[in-house]
Amino acid sequence: MTETKSVLTNDENKMIQEQFGLLLQNSPRLKKKADREIVEKAFNLAFLAHKDMRRRSGEPYICHPLAVARIVSEEIGLGSLSISCALLHDVVEDTDYTLEDIEHLFGKKVANVIDGLTKISGAFSEQSSSQAENFRKILLTLSDDMRVILIKLADRLHNMRTLDAMPVEKQLKIASETIYIYAPLAHRLGLYKIKTELEDLSMKYRHPEIYEEISKKVRSNEKRRVAEINRFSMPIIQKLEENNIHFDINGRPKSIYSIWKKMQTKNVSFEEVYDLMAIRIIFDPKPRVSEKAMCWLIYSLVTDIYLPKPDRLRDWVSKPKENGYEALHATVMSHEGKWVEVQIRSRRMDEIAERGYAAHWKYKGINAQESGLDTWLKRIREMLENPNNNALEFLDDFKLNLFSSEILVFTPKGHIKSLPKNASVLDFAYEIHTEIGNHAIGAKVNHKLVPLSYKLSSGDQVEVLTSDKQRPQPEWLNFVITAKAKVGIKNALKTEKNSRIKIGKEKLDRKFKELNITPNAYVFRKLMNAYESLTKDELYSKIGLGLIELDNVEEILKKKSRNKLVRYWTLQLLKGINSPASKKKAGATPDKKKPVLLRENVNDEDSEYTIANCCKPIPGDPVVGYLDKELDTIVIHKANCPNIIQLAAKHGDRIIPVRWTTHKVKAFLSRIKVQGIDRMGILNDMTTIISKQLDVNIRSLNVDVIDGIFEATLDVYVHNTVHLNNLILKLARIKGIDSVNREEYTGE
């Protein structure tokens, strides 16, 4: 936070020393003399460096690093090195001390953590040119030292606790960053208490009226809630004591943010949020009795007293969450007719729940169930190390991993895989192995055949079906949601594209040698014009796919050019000079007779064109282009599309002539309707022609028979109108078929 300069008063000096004394006194991991000495050394340097500085609130600046150090120590449970780094975290950024000074005084480990914290501090500033790229740099610290992220979370928590002193616009900015990144990150690392407080504080500044309203209702219910918890808990306490179980039991209100979120998602009032009240039972395990058995024993005792709600049982004891969280959650009906959530966990589970990743140092080796968090961290590192990821793609993929709720699905052998909610069969395939994902053709879910896009639910058993001939398709990116699947598909598509280009280049080079031609810009321009290609890579790609035969290269090069080989509109669009002002400046008038060529990779990630969803034209359809300046692309519509007619009336200067080139690379979705007289085998005749004779892929097939009249609607993938018309003609010849017509495909 912004600071001003001022000399400390005696009272302030006394208060600072008292705060430091509490830090030493309440830190559970500062038992050794050497640990206390390094923390004292760090405090002395921080105190000296910040002695003339104040926060915007007016308090001495040193109070902030002291508060962060106490959060790091008391609420997260880190040791002397992290506490020292928390005390020093603003020294390099805000004072004259350098990173070299820190390394000289405290060693390389402390210097590395301070370096990571300093880099994070500037990542979300107003001067940041790319928040996505800066955020990627922040997460590189995950690969180096997790303490950087944990200390940063403590820093953010204290800033949120003292946000009142900031201007309203700063409050909104910091609160938005907190709910967008820091609260989910705390959740993912298992720091539930910190995550909950960050969410509540963020809501306080983003939605102050709603926050205050819910907060007031929670406070007004406080006495009644305590009385209800006591009445509810008494029978449970009696039962647990009868069974000689050592335990603590406490009630807790649901957080303001979680109440508001439930009101939003369930569209209910405050009074209708049924699990406003919750109790937590924390037990000491008995000798020679597993924690899991103890959890279920206590669950059994509780449900002997209160009736459970079956669909609200959450078993994170048998399979912990990916961040290591373990507990048994049940919702039961109180004698007053209210639903109450009961959380059951051991002392160890409770410490991990409160301190998350930071608590694993204590139990490492005791419990092997922490591998889920390690797996998540490994995925993040893999994404960071992928050179093909740009910053925005990375941020999207990271958010998928960060925000996702989890489902648990089983392999055919009974192994459990954890996936985000709404994950598809293809996500599961890539989760097993990238190669299985790349060659997946479908799956059996609970022994029933399903497509790759099928959404999985918790408890599903999944067997992935593969084929050596299968290759990743661009459409797959529309229904996968995990970062691993998206990265796998994108990498495979890029590899395949590069392979096509390489093969095409080799073929063309051999042809040049055979004809004794020296390739130059003139030669390539002639070939690109003749083969309707806009770039060398497109030319190579078409050759590599076999769409272009090179038998007539010599004839093409001998022909005289009738027009300029560089397409005016394409160059203008790529240079971004289509505005009327720029045209006047250039002194040029576009030749609207020269159409933009629609390439084979329309709608691929590097294309300048997209297909309009309203009319979904396919190659061969009469089409018109519309320059969408907001999307920075040309949108291709059918010439008779109502939307393009309306756009042409309003923005005639943005209408661009376009035409299709050879199109056999990409498949386009079209719909046909078939009617006729029903007979035995008619459907088999249709699918034989579609799949075997014409090699057309069927996306969906709906058949209805009423009073002997057969009617079918098919969504099929075709290359162009010639391909589609050929299919229609073949189907029309089938015995019993009366009519076959193309219908508008709207994508519903």
What CATH number corresponds to the domain at position 277?
Answer: 3.30.460.10
Q: Look at residue 419 in the predicted model and tell me its pLDDT.
A: 83
Residue among 69, 60, 86, 88 nearest 22 (CA): 69
pLDDT(366) > 80: no
Same domain, 38 and 180: yes
d(CA 444, CA 412): 10
Quickly state the pLDDT bin for 583 (edges 50, 70, 90).
Answer: very low
Q: Tell which wins on pLDDT, 333 or 126.
A: 333
pLDDT digit string, tens, across residues 1-13: 545 555 788 888 8
Residue among 522, 665, 523, 670 nearest 607 (CA): 665
Site of tokens 């930071």: 358
What is the b/e burial string over 40-75, where b = at least 16 CB atoms within 10 angstroms of the residue's CB? Answer: bebbebbbebbbebbbeeebbbbbbbbbbbbbbbeb
Region of residue 567 (phi > 0: left; psi between -120 and 50: alpha; otherwise: beta): beta
- Within a domain: 487: no
Residue among 487, 218, 186 nearest 356 (CA): 186
Q: Look at residue 563 in the predicted model and tell me its pLDDT.
A: 38
- Within a domain: 245: yes
Q: Tell which wins on pLDDT, 531 or 305.
A: 305
Q: Look at residue 571 in the predicted model and tell me its pLDDT.
A: 38
pLDDT digit string, tens, across residues 12-33: 889 999 999 999 988 878 888 8
Q: What is the mean pLDDT of residues 233-244?
A: 94
Q: Look at residue 690 in the predicted model and tell me its pLDDT.
A: 83
Q: What is the mean pLDDT of residues 415-438?
A: 88
pLDDT(394) > 90: no
Q: Tell which wins on pLDDT, 633 or 346.
A: 346
Q: Tell which wins on pLDDT, 488 or 604.
A: 488
Quickly state the pLDDT bin for 604 (edges 50, 70, 90).
Answer: very low
Q: How far apart are the first and last CA of the chain?
A: 51
Q: Look at residue 176 in the predicted model and tell me its pLDDT.
A: 78
What is the b/e burial string over 492-525, where b = at least 16 CB atoms within 10 angstroms of the residue's CB? Answer: bbeeebeebbebbbebbeebeeeeeeeeeeebbe
Show which of 172, 206, 240 is a domain's final residue.
Answer: 206
Site of tokens 């979120």: 261
Same domain, 346 and 258: yes
pLDDT digit string, tens, across residues 491-540: 888 888 888 888 888 888 888 888 888 888 778 877 887 777 777 888 88
Quickly state the pLDDT bin for 613 (edges 50, 70, 90).
Answer: confident
Q: Look at residue 607 in the predicted model and tell me its pLDDT.
A: 53
pLDDT(424) > 90: yes
Same domain, 652 and 732: no
pLDDT(239) > 90: yes
Strand 53-55 with 339-346, pairing: unpaired
Q: Look at residue 242 in the predicted model and tell me its pLDDT.
A: 93
Average pLDDT, the chain: 78
Lowest-confidence segment of 297-311, 412-426, 591-605 by average pLDDT: 591-605
Quickly state the pLDDT bin for 458 (edges 50, 70, 90).
Answer: confident
Lowest-confidence segment of 1-10, 193-202, 238-247, 718-727 by average pLDDT: 1-10
- Within a domain: 38: yes
Q: Look at residue 404 in the predicted model and tell me its pLDDT.
A: 53
Q: Tell which wins on pLDDT, 289 or 6.
A: 289
Q: Look at residue 371 in the predicted model and tell me its pLDDT.
A: 46
C-beta separation of 430 from 485 below 8 A = yes
Same domain, 92 and 229: no
Same domain, 61 and 199: yes
Q: How many beta carbons lie within 10 A of that of residue 714, not counting itself?
A: 23
DSSP H stretches of helix in 207-246: 208-220, 222-242
Quickly state the pLDDT bin for 67 (edges 50, 70, 90).
Answer: very high
Percent of the chain with pLDDT over 70: 77
pTM equals 0.56
Q: Look at residue 79 in the predicted model and tell me its pLDDT.
A: 86
Same domain, 604 and 707: no
d(CA 329, CA 295): 10
Q: How many beta carbons lie within 10 A of that of residue 592, not counting itself?
A: 11
Q: What is the mean pLDDT of residues 621-625?
A: 81
Provide the annotated active-site residues. Answer: 93-94
Q: Tell which wins on pLDDT, 601 or 17.
A: 17
pLDDT(349) > 70: yes
Quickly state the pLDDT bin for 580 (edges 50, 70, 90).
Answer: very low
Same domain, 34 and 134: yes
Number of domains, the chain: 4
By three-state DSSP, how is residue 97 classified?
coil
Q: What is the mean pLDDT of residues 111-137?
A: 60
Q: Look at residue 652 in the predicted model and tell me its pLDDT.
A: 61
Quickly state the pLDDT bin for 376 (edges 50, 70, 90).
Answer: low
Q: Look at residue 69 in the predicted model and tell me its pLDDT.
A: 94
Show which of 340, 359, 378 is a domain's final residue.
Answer: 359
Quickly state the pLDDT bin for 37 (edges 50, 70, 90).
Answer: very high
Q: Look at residue 291 in the predicted model and tell me its pLDDT.
A: 92
Give every strand in the sheet of 440-445, ordered side by side. 448-450, 440-445, 462-466
- Within a domain: 355: yes
Q: Look at residue 346 in the predicted model and tell me its pLDDT.
A: 94
Q: What is the mean pLDDT of residues 172-193?
A: 80
Show which of 206, 232, 255 is a domain's final residue.
Answer: 206
Residue among 623, 601, 604 nearest 612 (CA): 623
Residue among 71, 64, 69 nearest 354 (CA): 71
DSSP H stretches of helix in 662-720: 682-687
Q: What is the mean pLDDT of residues 452-478?
A: 87
Same domain, 169 and 31: yes
- Within a domain: 514: no
- Within a domain: 201: yes
The residue type at 24:
L
Quickly state the pLDDT bin for 241 (edges 50, 70, 90).
Answer: very high
Q: Look at residue 631 in the predicted model and tell me its pLDDT.
A: 54
Q: Look at residue 650 in the predicted model and tell me its pLDDT.
A: 61
Q: Look at residue 601 in the predicted model and tell me its pLDDT.
A: 44
Same domain, 262 and 153: no
Q: Look at residue 562 in the predicted model and tell me its pLDDT.
A: 41
Angle at 555 between CA 554 and CA 560, to 5 degrees: 115
Q: What is the CATH number of the domain that holds 127?
A: 1.10.3210.10
Range of the domain at 623: 567-664
- Within a domain: 606: yes
Site of tokens 């004891």: 317
Same domain, 608 and 701: no
Q: Look at residue 398 in the predicted model and tell me its pLDDT.
A: 54
Q: Look at residue 598 in the predicted model and tell me its pLDDT.
A: 58
Return the structure tokens found at 638. 């059918």
- Within a domain: 486: no
Q: What is the mean pLDDT of residues 408-433?
A: 85
pLDDT(54) > 50: yes
Percent of the chain with pLDDT over 90: 18
Same domain, 658 and 613: yes
Same domain, 230 and 253: yes
Q: What is the mean pLDDT of residues 395-415?
A: 65
Q: What is the CATH number of the domain that holds 677?
A: 3.30.70.260
Give every strand in the sheet of 609-611, ordered side by side. 596-598, 655-660, 623-628, 633-638, 609-611
